[in-house]
C-alpha cells in the first residue's frame, strides 16, 4: 500500500470505509504494515494492554513517545496517530501545542489525538493546524474523563444527542481531520457523520461512521477478562501462546529440548 496522505484519506469520506487499529510495538506495527489497514492509533489504551493498569490515566507523554516511535519505524507507510495522554493537553493552549509538537518531533507520528471539546482544546486544535500538526478529535465516552462522567453510552437523550452534534461541528470547525466516536448511539453517530465534512471513526458507535477502530489485542484475543460487547474477536492468540509455552516446558522437562539441531558442537 502507498504511503498515506491525510487529504487523500479525508477525500475517501462517503466512498469507502476506513480501517484503523491500535498498535504499540514491533509485532503489532509490523502486522499492520503488512495488512490493508489504513491508519494506526498509538492509543493510551497501552495503559491497559501493555502496562496492565486499571485506567488510561497514568499513561505519560514519554510512554506515548516511546511506543509511537517504535510503531512509526515499523509501519513506515501508515498514518500513525499518537494519543495525547491525560493531563498533557487542555491546561493551556501554549502547553498543549508545545506537548503535541514534542510528540510529533520525538516519535515521528503523523498526527495527534485529543479527547474533548473544551474551549482551550478547540483553540489548540486551530493553532496546531496553523503550524502543521494534524489533529484527530475524540467524542462520546472519553476514558480520560471516567472519574467525572463514569462509563456511559453517549447520545441517549435528545439533549445529549444535540450536544454531541454541536461538539462534532465545533471540532470540525476548529480543524480536526477526523474524530473518534466512542460508545455513541448509532443514530447519533450517523447524524454526526452526515453533518461534518471530516472523517468519523467509530468504536462501539454502530455501522454508519466513516470507519472503525478497535484495539489490536482485543480482536486477536491477547487480553484477559471480559471484552466490551462491540468487540469482535477474530483469533485467540492467548490460547495459542499458552499452549506453546506449556509444550516447550514439557519438552524441557522430558529432555526433548534441545535436540541435536538446537545445540552448538565442535565439528
Ligand atoms: O486509546 C485508544 O486506544 C483509543 C481507541 C480505543 C479509540 O482511544
Ligand 1 neighbourhood includes 190 CB (under 6 angstroms): no
Ligand 1: residue of 113, 140, 189 to mutate (most ligand atoms within 8 A of CB) is 113
* Closest by CA position to 164, among listed 145, 148, 147, 187: 187
Residues paired with residue 130 on neighbouring β-strands, in sequence order: none
Cα(142) to centroid(ligand 1), Å: 9
Ligand 1 neighbourhood includes 93 CB (under 6 angstroms): no
* Closest by CA position to 62, among listed 103, 96, 90: 103
Ligand 1 neighbourhood includes 201 CB (under 6 angstroms): no
Residues paired with residue 232 on neighbouring β-strands, in sequence order: none
* Residue minimizing CA distance to atom 4 of ligand 1: 43
SS3 138: strand
Domain edges within the chain: 6-235
Q: How far is the C-alpha of 39 from the C-alpha of 213, rounded, in Å?
A: 9
Selecting among 115, 123, 182, 239, the annotated active-site residue is 182
SS3 200: strand
Q: 58: which 3 cell numbers?
A: 497514568
* Residue minimizing CA distance to atom 1 of ligand 1: 43
Minimum-distance ligand 1 atom for the alpha carbon of 22: 3
Ligand 1 neighbourhood includes 115 CB (under 6 angstroms): no
Q: Using CA atoms in the order 67, 110, 34, 193, what is the torsion angle rounded to 10 degrees? A: 110
**Length reported for the chain:** 267
Q: How far is the C-alpha of 128 from the C-alpha of 134, rounded, in Å?
A: 7
Is residue 182 annotated as a catalytic residue, yes or no? yes
Q: Which helix (H) or strand (E) holds 79?
A: strand 79-83
* Residue minimizing CA distance to atom 2 of ligand 1: 43
Cα(21) to centroid(ligand 1), Å: 9
Per-residue pLDDT of the chain (267 residues; tens, 9 = 90+): 558 899 999 999 999 999 999 999 999 999 999 999 999 999 999 999 999 999 999 999 999 999 999 999 999 999 999 999 999 999 999 999 999 999 999 999 999 999 999 999 999 999 999 999 999 999 999 999 999 999 999 999 999 999 999 999 999 999 999 999 999 999 999 999 999 999 999 999 999 999 999 999 999 999 988 899 999 999 999 999 999 999 999 999 999 999 999 999 998
Annotation: CATH topology of 6-235: TIM Barrel (3.20.20)
Amino acid at each position: 500500500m502507498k504511503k498515506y496522505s491525510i487529504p487523500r484519506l479525508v477525500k475517501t469520506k462517503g466512498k469507502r470505509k476506513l480501517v484503523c487499529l491500535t498498535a504499540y510495538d514491533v509485532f503489532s506495527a509490523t502486522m499492520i504494515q503488512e495488512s490493508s489497514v489504513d491508519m494506526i492509533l498509538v492509543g493510551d489504551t497501552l495503559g491497559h494492554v501493555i502496562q496492565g493498569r486499571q485506567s488510561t490515566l497514568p499513561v505519560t507523554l514519554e510512554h506515548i513517545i516511546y511506543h509511537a516511535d517504535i510503531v512509526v519505524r515499523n509501519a513506515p507507510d501508515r498514518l500513525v496517530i499518537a494519543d495525547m495522554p491525560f493531563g498533557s493537553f487542555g491546561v493551556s493552549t501554549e502547553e498543549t501545542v508545545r506537548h503535541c509538537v514534542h510528540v510529533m518531533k520525538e516519535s515521528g507520528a503523523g498526527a495527534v489525538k485529543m479527547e474533548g471539546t473544551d474551549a482551550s482544546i478547540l483553540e489548540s486544535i486551530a493553532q496546531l493546524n496553523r503550524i502543521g500538526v494534524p489533529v484527530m478529535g475524540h467524542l462520546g465516552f472519553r476514558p480520560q474523563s471516567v472519574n467525572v462522567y463514569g462509563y456511559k453510552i453517549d447520545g441517549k437523550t435528545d439533549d445529549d444527542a444535540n450536544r454531541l452534534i454541536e461538539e462534532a461541528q465545533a471540532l470540525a470547525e476548529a480543524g480536526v481531520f477526523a474524530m473518534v466516536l466512542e460508545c455513541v448511539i448509532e443514530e447519533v453517530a450517523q447524524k454526526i457523520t452526515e453533518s461534518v465534512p471530516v472523517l468519523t471513526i467509530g468504536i462501539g458507535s454502530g455501522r454508519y461512521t466513516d470507519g472503525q477502530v478497535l484495539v489490536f489485542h482485543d480482536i486477536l484475543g491477547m487480553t484477559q477478562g471480559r471484552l466490551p460487547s462491540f468487540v469482535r474477536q477474530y483469533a485467540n492468540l492467548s490460547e495459542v501462546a499458552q499452549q506453546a509455552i506449556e509444550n516447550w516446558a514439557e519438552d524441557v522437562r522430558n529432555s526433548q529440548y534441545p535436540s541435536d539441531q538446537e545445540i552448538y558442537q565442535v565439528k
